[in-house]
Amino acid sequence: MNSTPTTGRTVLYVLSETDCAAIRYQRERRKAAGLMDAHDGLGNPVQPGDIVPAIIVRVWNEESGLMNGQAILDGPDSLWLMSRHRDDSKAPHTWHWPARS
């Protein structure tokens, strides 16, 4: 898909080791701060290579696909993505367009 990234579009993001460490850190801080109740879990585990949906919130460069976004995790949290590039090889720490159905 050769489409221009724009604010509000849903893309797929490939988690890296650094992303996973940041997610685990966020979740542990939330737990330690008592920001959860009995009905609020920490979210399902993440590992490098996991592909999650993300919403583009700012486009920095249309040609390279450089954007900021919010990765939507399987739990009550998200991950802020700063300056991530598009890469159709699905390398960690990058985003790509979902397959068209």
Q: What range defines the domain where residue 23 resides?
A: 10-96
Looking at the domain assignment, is residue 3 inside a domain? no
Looking at the domain assignment, is residue 84 inside a domain? yes
Tell me what the mean pLDDT of segment 60-74 comes to: 94
Distance separating alpha carbons of residues 48 and 22, to the nearest angstrom: 12
pLDDT digits (tens, 9 = 90+) for 14-34: 999 999 999 999 988 888 887
Mean pLDDT, all residues of the chain? 91
Considering its fold, how many domains does the chain have in total? 1
Looking at the domain assignment, is residue 5 inside a domain? no
Q: What is the CA radius of gyration of the chain?
A: 14
Looking at the domain assignment, is residue 32 inside a domain? yes
